[in-house]
Amino acid sequence: MSQSINRSRLFVASCLALITTAMAFAIRAGIMNDLTETLGLSDTEKGWINQMAFLGFPVATIIGGALYNSLGPKKLGYIAFVGHLLGITFTLLSNSFWPLFLSTFLIGFANGMVEAAFNPLVASMYDENKTTMLNRFHVWFPGGIVIGSLIAFALSQVNASWQVKISTMYIPTIIYGFLFFGQRFPEHSGTISMSNAENLRTIFTSPLFWFMMVCMTMTATTELGTQQWVERILGQAGAAPMLVLALVTGLMAVGRYFAGPIVHQLNITGVLLGSAIISAISIYLMSSATGFMVYVYAVLFAVGVCYFWPNMISFVAEYMPKTGALGMSLMGGAGMFGASIFQPLIGYWLDTHRNKALVQGLSKEAAELLAGQATLAKIALIPTILIFAFGFLLFLMRNRQPVRAHT
């Protein structure tokens, strides 16, 4: 690799781009109540708006993954940068459902371009240590959520508007754009197959890849579907929702940073199975918890979902490298697409359970608590399915070794 390539600077810039993505997620979670109070949006309407953030992501990863071999990470990264600037600005100018609906899609598209550009970039720069470095890169999704959730919490304490909370996303966006500007990027390495035709041929002829795509829709929904609605689900559970989110994602960041030895001891498939078991148990327990016990089960939930996303991506990079950047992008896109499908459904569950409780004569606070707990109980079914899926995967992969690229 050329001496003039500043690998550390490119990695830091990639992490800051991921922080921007995560802050968008956290701050959107932190303005749910604001959108109800200032714009009169229902939970179902907010579910459709949330869906656009998750849906814009897979659209971008499909496009970005397909164009990676021809455009490379630098140009895709600049597309993400412009998308973030425009998406944040248009969101600030929104004052009703449809402008928010469209501007949220644009931010989601920029987030997806970050994934499409920088997952394969990190894998290429650190071919000798892909899984560890991809986990360290993905430290900054939960890390960025910690930053965003604490910002949202602090600004709420001083009654700042939702527009002020959104505007803080400009800071990491401008910094990562500055760090990338004028930098030389590495040439494609042997880690990533250079032919889209070969990528597609491998993808379409691999049942294992499609199996992992389906699993990715469920792992992402388990992690992100729960976190995106934390303010509405836990609002009456006797815990501060944004502090719960900061606690969960802070622990996830630490866990991902030290993922190397854990993955080495258990291997990727063993980690995924353990994650599914812990996630199912923790969400089920949280569905009946109040007060201090919410924080206790939130810690368990953090352990459960911590390794899902980076190790699903790493599985493709390690065992199916011929799927290339397109394969990694499609995997991330599948995760966000799965999470997008559930956004309106989660909003509908909350509205439905709340309305039923109100009809039965419960107070507004009791109805909110019941709605959140009933919704969590339904979400817990998703990681329960994954227990069986990853148990099968562990059996299937028991004698297989990662495929090393020849550079």
What was the pLDDT predicted at 16?
97
Please check the confidence at residue 74 and state whether its pLDDT lies above 80.
yes
pLDDT at 190 over 50: no
Residue 406 pLDDT class (50, 70, 90 cuts): very low
pLDDT for the residue 188: 56
Confidence (pLDDT) at 404: 58
Q: Which domains, ranges and CATH numbers included, belong to the chain?
A: 7-186+194-396 (1.20.1250.20)
Residue at 205: amino acid letter? T
Residue 191 pLDDT > 50: no
Higher pLDDT, residue 401 or 256: 256
Taken in order 98, 103, 106, 108, is the CA torsion positive or negative? Answer: negative
2 vs 104, 118, 122, 187, 233, CA distance in Å?
39, 19, 16, 9, 50
The model's pTM: 0.81
Nearest alpha-carbon partner for 303 in 246, 252, 376 = 252
| Per-residue pLDDT, 194 | 56
Q: What is the pLDDT of residues 157-189, one digit of tens each?
A: 999 999 999 999 999 999 999 999 989 988 654
CB of 336 within 8 A of CB of 55? yes
Burial class (CB in 10 A: 0-12, 13-18, 19+), 184: exposed
Using an 8 Å Cβ cutoff, are 268 and 390 in contact?
Answer: no
The residue with greater pLDDT, 109 or 262, is 109
> What's the gap between Cα 11 and its chain centre?
19
Average the pLDDT over 43-68 and give the result: 90
The whole-number average pLDDT for the span 56-78 is 92
Of 97-111, 186-200, 297-311, 341-355, least confident by mean pLDDT is 186-200
Q: Which pLDDT tens digit goes with each residue over 193-242?
A: 457 888 999 999 999 999 999 999 999 999 988 888 887 898 889 989 98
Question: Which amino acid is present at 50?
Answer: N
pLDDT tens-digit map of 121-150: 998 898 878 878 888 999 999 899 999 999
The residue-averaged pLDDT of 35-55 equals 88
**Contact yes or no for 282/244 (Cβ under 8 A):** no
**Cα–Cα separations (whole angstroms), residue 57 to 90, 152, 340:** 17, 23, 9
User: What does residue 359 show for φ and ψ, rounded to 5 degrees?
Assistant: -60, -35
Task: Indicate the average pLDDT of the chain.
Answer: 90
What is the pLDDT, as a whole number, of residue 346?
A: 92
Taking CA atoms, 333 is separated from 24, 94, 274, 399, in Å, by: 17, 26, 23, 29
% residues pLDDT > 70 (the chain):
96
What pLDDT score does 23 carry? 95
DSSP 321: G
Average pLDDT over residues 66-77: 91
- Label residue 373 by pLDDT band (50, 70, 90): very high
pLDDT, average across residues 370-374: 94
